[in-house]
Structure 1
Amino acid sequence: MKATLIFRASLFFILLGSFAAQAQTAPPAPTPRPGRVMPKPRTTVAKAEGIKDGLSMQKGRVVLTELGISNPLVADKKLVNGTIITPAGVVTGTDGTTAQMMEGDLVSLSGRITSRSDIVAADSIAKIQLFDALHPGKRKKMEAEAEKKAKAKEKAAEAKAKAKEKAAARRRK
Structure 2
Amino acid sequence: MLHRITLVLALVLGSLVAAQAQRRPAPRQQAAPPKAPTMKDGAIMQGGKIVITRFGQTETVSAETTLPNGIKVSPDGTVTMQNGTTALMKEGDYLSLSGRLTTAAQKAEQDSLIKVAMEANKVKIKAKRK
Distance in 1 between the 2:37 and 2:118 partners?
Answer: 20
Higher mean alpha-carbon deviation, 61-70 vs 96-105, is at 61-70
Per residue, is there more helix in 1 or in 2?
1
CA RMSD of aligned residues (A): 2.4
Relative contact order, higher structure (CA 8 A, sep 6+)? 2
Match of 1:95 among 78, 83, 86: 83
Q: Which has the larger radius of gyration?
A: 1
2:50 equivalent to 1:53? no
Distance in 2 between the 1:72 and 1:54 partners?
Answer: 12
Residue pair 1:47, 1:68 contacting (<8 A) in 2 also: no
Residue pair 1:55, 1:109 contacting (<8 A) in 2 also: yes
**CA offset at residue 100 of structure 1?**
0.5
Per residue, is there more strand in 1 or in 2?
2
TM-score, with normalisation over the residues of structure 1?
0.50
The one-character-per-residue Cα deviations of 1:11-54 (angstroms, maximum 9, x if unpaired) are xxxxxxxxxxxxxxxx6259xxxxxxxxxxxxxxx654361111
Structure 2 unpaired stretches of 5+: 1-23, 28-33
Identical aligned residues as a percent: 41
TM-score, with normalisation over the residues of structure 2?
0.66
Residue 28 of structure 1 aligns with an amino acid whose one-letter code is P
